[in-house]
Amino acid sequence: YSRVFNWKTVLLAGDSPQSQEKKWLQKIDLKSEIIALGHHGSNTSTSLYLLKKLKNLKLGLCSARRKKYGHPSPAVIKRLKQFHVPLVCTEDWGNIIIEL
């Protein structure tokens, strides 16, 4: 789900696996600046293919518990770093509020 707020586009990937990302990528605004990582940052989501398409991405958000579930996965963190996209997780920061 892609949504525009005050000229900022946010991508809410939900629990989409990588196969679904490819399908809905054709239907959304690729100018998203913020992404809520798919499935809490699981390795099954937030693909390299997706990140290559989102050229304006400035921030990744994750609601997860590394200690309990291993999310966000090290592979997803590595993918984000490849594109110089900082990651903010609720486990580290608590509630995250972004004014758009």
Over the stretch 12-41, which tens digit does the pLDDT of each residue have?
Answer: 888 888 999 988 888 887 888 999 998 889
Is the separation of the CB atoms in 22 and 51 below 8 Å? no
Structural domain includes residue 98: no
Q: What domain count does the chain have? A: 1
Structural domain includes residue 23: yes
**CB contact set of 92 (below 8 Å; sequence gap of 6+):** none
Structural domain includes residue 45: yes
User: Which range of residues forms the domain containing residue 49?
Assistant: 2-93
This model's pTM is above 0.85: no
Cα angle 43-16-12, degrees, rounded to a multiple of 5: 105
Structural domain includes residue 99: no
SS3 40: helix
**Spatial CA neighbour of 21 closest among 76, 82, 63:** 76
Residues of the chain with pLDDT under 70: 1-7, 66
